[in-house]
Amino acid sequence: MDQRAQDPPSEDLSGRQREVLRLLVQEYVASAAPVGSGTLLRLGQLSVSSATVRSELALLEDLGYLQQPHTSAGRVPTIKGYRYFIEQLMDDVELPAPYRTMIGHQFHQIRLNMDQWLQLTAAVLAHTTRSASLVTAPHADHSRLKHIQLIATHDTLILMVLVLQDGSVYQEIMAVSEAVTQDRLSQLTNQLNDLFRNQTAQEIRSVMALELPGITGWPLRVVEWLAQRMEDVDVRTIDEIYQAGLANVLEQPEFEDVSTFRRLVDMMEQRQRLDLVLSRALSANGVQIIIGGERPFEEIYDVSMVLSPYGIRDKASGVLGVVGPTRMPYAHVVSTVRYVACMMDGLIDEVYGETRA
Amino acid sequence: MDQRAQDPPSEDLSGRQREVLRLLVQEYVASAAPVGSGTLLRLGQLSVSSATVRSELALLEDLGYLQQPHTSAGRVPTIKGYRYFIEQLMDDVELPAPYRTMIGHQFHQIRLNMDQWLQLTAAVLAHTTRSASLVTAPHADHSRLKHIQLIATHDTLILMVLVLQDGSVYQEIMAVSEAVTQDRLSQLTNQLNDLFRNQTAQEIRSVMALELPGITGWPLRVVEWLAQRMEDVDVRTIDEIYQAGLANVLEQPEFEDVSTFRRLVDMMEQRQRLDLVLSRALSANGVQIIIGGERPFEEIYDVSMVLSPYGIRDKASGVLGVVGPTRMPYAHVVSTVRYVACMMDGLIDEVYGETRA
DNA sequence: TGTTGGCACTCTAGGGGTGAGACTGCTAAC
DNA sequence: GTTAGCAGTCTCACCCCTAGAGTGCCAACA
């Protein structure tokens, strides 16, 4: 059933075949036009005739790495071709120094505010890769309560502010049946902090199951609410998504046709599938590439994503990445994503590294 | 210099001219194709011949309300034509009941969480108008501190959480030169809350100018930081913008051409100009319509915005609205925006209405 | 003076035809 | 196994042309 299990012989391409495929993908990415034998020869890296190249191309097409838009056109990589290129042929270079310094420079200009960091990260990714980008906020797997604060808003409305160990802050308003004073709320706040500090939703639940000292009536409802909210946070592994650079992607010729772009926008706006992919990337190791047409995006065959987790696994981690045309300069994008993820790792480590007891 | 000052006679259109203009705009909005005399007659509301209609059209064109894409095409409204239509001809109806109940239904399904409300509002606006939408978070003009909380993150890092009277929450991390304990921070937290509760940035500054009791060294830097942050909040009247429904807009025929859509995306991504327009709308009364090509969006001639402030002026107010093609059903969009703004007014009033002392 | 039918004119969108160009696959020779 | 040569295929850009929609003008009419 699995694609990879089915064609094991796909690996044994000759050196020249690999070279032809590599050149073709590179040239296609650069030119956005189908590549023929003549164009490949003109690149000057092959020391055979065009006829030989043609037979290699025909073979690569038979094997499923290439396809022809029509008989008299050059070849274009298939999904399988891109996969092979990415996994076997791409020179996995470090991001060139000029980019690194530019990114580093931008990151050091800003104050320590997570919101702005994430926005900046999205902007930097988008700008460096000339694509669209997305970044999710860092998140713990099982969040621990760092601080709860209850504030009187109105007679019968309470604002609850939760600060979790991963640095995320949640606020929510709750209505209670009787008027409450700020004094009473401050008192309850202290109690709750003493009781539940550093605990997970589960632990809070188990303390609740036992007797709660002196907490009954609406205060008990507040505790229930707290536990509920923390469970919500745990369930929604992906919360807010920062994005940038949609306009960049419109520069690419494949998006001349609006319907292609529509698919990309759909992909960014349909949170269900996006969340699925992002949460997979979250638990992956290193950079993950989802080529258009693969995985849950079967019908979005011309848009690819390059994603990487960042942060400290289970403690404060998120996903960042790039969304662009399948015909994208993967080597550059991958190295950019990797580098930015690494920057974020450093940042997160600095802030949440060894959390104090 | 001012456009309006230059053509005062533009007002005196005859009843029939107004009717022709009204019909033409409505028909053009519905059909997206230039409207000719024949089409107008076929609508059945005019009891004159096509020749008469033609001469009226020629006149309206001379006056600048209409234009022809080319000689043998029908007419299309100009910016001036749309303006006149919106201000004089549009029947300003209430949003039809089915829409109202649908929107009301959606608003009552969700718990009291501002973040989700705003996201929902954007989604509802986008869905009801089949356009793109944007919503800014409610904000006070001069925010007052409701609660500050300092939390030890790392030895030398402090997480500051600010809760302001308008319900917004800000978090930021600060590095200090020496290690600090949570106990010391809690103590400082209490001091700061006692000192500055319900104060504006300005008031905090003036207290700072006087002597601060027992606050020196890094704690003093924390206070400085607090004041700074609150000033930042005041300056940035528009902070986060929630948006939805970009994909809707791609359905419209004018966006077949990518460059048109690009302009819209640019408009949404270029925060400077967008913020300018939004902050103007924030201090306006009622629904504001910015027609493509007007105001700061001179070159974006085919995209319009319908904006409305919501909330309680100076206390907790924001802007919401719709972005779509200039050829949009203004009556429907305006009534939707107005209705949703009204819903939000209710919500905000419920939560921040009569803030307690 | 305002309205109308008639008419010549204009311009676009779309269909069909055509030729240049790019690329292929095949084959026979090296 | 490689190559040159060649016939074949298909697209794209271009042009031509027509149908159709719509106009402006004018003379006649109320």
Look at residue B5 in the predicted model and tell me its pLDDT.
38
Per-residue flag: B67 CB under 7 A of strand D: no
A151:B154 CB<8 A: no
The yes-or-no verdict on residue B354 having pLDDT over 80 is: no
Arithmetic mean of pLDDT, B50-58: 95
Q: Which residue of B has its CA nearest to A253?
A: B258
Which whole number is the average pLDDT over B31-53? 92
The mean-pLDDT minimum among A23-37, B296-310, B322-336 falls in B296-310
- Interchain pair A163, B172: CB under 8 A: no
- Residue A289 CB neighbours (<10 A): 23
- B55-104 pLDDT per residue, tens: 999 999 999 999 999 998 999 999 999 999 999 999 888 999 999 999 99
DSSP per residue, A265-300: HHHHH-HHHHHHHHHHHHTSSS-EEE-TTSTT-TT-
Examine the pLDDT at B344 and tell me if it is beyond 80. yes
Nucleotide showing the shortest C1' distance to residue A50 CA: D3
**Which residue in A168, A233, A236 sits closest to A202, CA to CA?**
A233
User: What is residue B301's predicted lDDT score, i.e. its pLDDT?
Assistant: 85
Distance CA A340, CA A118 (A): 11
In whole angstroms, give the CA distance from residue A200 to residue A197: 9
Does the pLDDT of residue A5 top 50, yes or no? no
Through-space separation of residue B70 CA and nucleotide D17 C1' in angstroms: 20
Amino acid identity for residue A356 in this structure: R
User: A171 and B153: CB-CB below 8 Å?
Assistant: no
Which comes out higher in pLDDT, residue B336 or A109? B336
**Tens digit of each residue's pLDDT (9 = 90 or more) over A74-129:** 999 999 999 999 999 998 889 999 999 999 999 887 766 888 889 999 999 999 99
Answer yes or no: is pLDDT of A55 > 80.
yes
Q: How big is chain A by its Cα radius of gyration, in Å? A: 26
Say whether pLDDT at B10 is over 50.
no
Q: Quote the DSSP letter at residue B87.
A: I
Average pLDDT, chain A: 89
Q: Are B266 and B292 in contact (CB under 8 A)?
A: no
Which residue among A115, A169, A356 places its CB closest to the CB of B152?
A356
Tokens matching residue B356: 């307690």
> What's the pLDDT tens digit per position in B241-278?
999 999 999 999 999 888 889 889 988 988 999 999 99
Cα of A140 to nearest chain B Cα, Å: 15
Number of CB atoms found within 10 A of residue A252's CB:
19
* Cα distance from N-terminal residue to C-terminal residue, chain A: 49
Both tokens of A195, joined, read 């009781």
Decide if A28 touches B, using CB distance below 8 A: no
Instruction: Indicate the SS3 state at residue A153.
Output: strand
Nearest CA-CA distance, residue B22 and chain A, Å? 31
In Å, what is the separation between the CA of A302 and the C1' of D5? 38
Residue showing tokens 């036009």: A33
Block residue for tokens 């369930």:
A235
DSSP for A177-215 reads SS---HHHHHHHHHHHHHHHTT-BHHHHHHHHHS--TT-
Residue B131 near residue A333, CB atoms below 8 Å = no
Name residue A304's beta-bridge partners: A324
**Tens digits of residue pLDDT in B118-140:** 999 999 999 999 999 999 999 99
Picking from A180, A173, A156, A154, the residue whose alpha carbon sits closest to that of residue B355 is A154
Q: Is the pLDDT of residue B117 over 70?
A: yes
- Whether A146 has its CB under 8 Å from any CB of chain B: the answer is yes
Say how far apart CA A61 and CA B201 lie, in whole Å.
68
Cβ–Cβ gap B174/A112 under 8 Å:
yes
Whether chain A has a CB inside 8 Å of the CB on B242: the answer is no
Length of chain B in terms of residues written: 357
H or E segment to which residue A310 belongs? strand A303-312
| pTM over 0.85, yes/no | yes
CA B256, CA B242: separation in Å to the nearest integer? 25
What residue spans of chain A are helical by DSSP H?
3-6, 15-31, 37-42, 50-62, 79-84, 97-107, 114-129, 182-196, 201-209, 217-235, 246-249, 258-269, 271-282, 330-352
Return the beta strands (E) in chain B as ranges: 66-67, 76-77, 132-136, 145-154, 157-164, 169-175, 241-244, 288-290, 303-312, 316-325
* Main-chain dihedrals φ then ψ at residue A138, nearest 5 degrees: -70, 150
Minimum-distance nucleotide, CA of A54 to C1': C24
Mean pLDDT of A139-145: 90
Query: Residue B356 above 80 pLDDT?
Result: no
Contact (CB, 8 A) for B50 and B37: yes
Cβ pair A173:B269 closer than 8 A? no
Confidence of residue B339 (pLDDT cuts 50, 70, 90): very high
Smallest CA–CA distance, residue B283 to chain A, in Å, is 25
Q: Is A153 on the interface with B (CB under 8 A)?
A: yes
Q: Which nucleotides of D are covered by protein (CB under 7 A)?
A: 2-5, 8-11, 20-26
Q: Over 70: is that where the pLDDT of A354 sits?
A: no
Mutating which of A127, A146, A181, A273 best tests the B interface, going by the most B Cβ atoms within 10 A?
A146
Q: Is A176 on the interface with B (CB under 8 A)?
A: no
Contact B265 A246 (CB under 8 A): yes
Chain A hits for B262, CB-CB cut-off 8 Å, are 247, 250
Is residue A169 less than 8 Å (CB to CB) from chain B? yes
Using DSSP bridges, classify how beta strands B316-325 and B132-136 pair: parallel, antiparallel or unpaired: antiparallel
Give the distance between the most distant pair of CA atoms in chain B: 88
Q: Given CB atoms, is B22 within the 8 Å cutoff of chain A?
A: no
Alpha-carbon Rg for chain B in angstroms: 26
Q: Using CB atoms and an 8 Å cut-off, which of residues 32-61 of chain A contact chain B? A: none
What's the CA–C1' distance between B89 and D29, in Å? 34
Work out if A235's Cβ lies within 7 angstroms of strand D. Answer: no
CB contact (8 A) between residue A149 and residue B163: yes
DSSP output for B152-206 = EEETTEEEEEEEETTS-EEEEEEE-SS---HHHHHHHHHHHHHHHTT-BHHHHHH
Q: Who contacts A238 (Cβ-Cβ below 8 Å, separation ≥6)?
A: A136, A139, A274, A275, A278, A279, A282, A319
The bases of strand C with some atom under 7 A from any protein CB are 3-6, 9-12, 21-27
pLDDT tens readout for residues A182-233? 999 999 999 999 999 999 999 999 998 887 777 888 889 999 999 999 999 9
Q: What pLDDT does residue B298 have?
A: 86
Beta B303-312 vs B288-290: how paired, if at all? antiparallel
User: Which of B127, B261, B300, B352 to probe by mutation at the A interface, max A CB count within 10 Å?
Assistant: B261
Taking residues B348-353, report their average pLDDT: 81
pLDDT at B3 over 70: no
pLDDT band at A356, cuts 50/70/90? very low
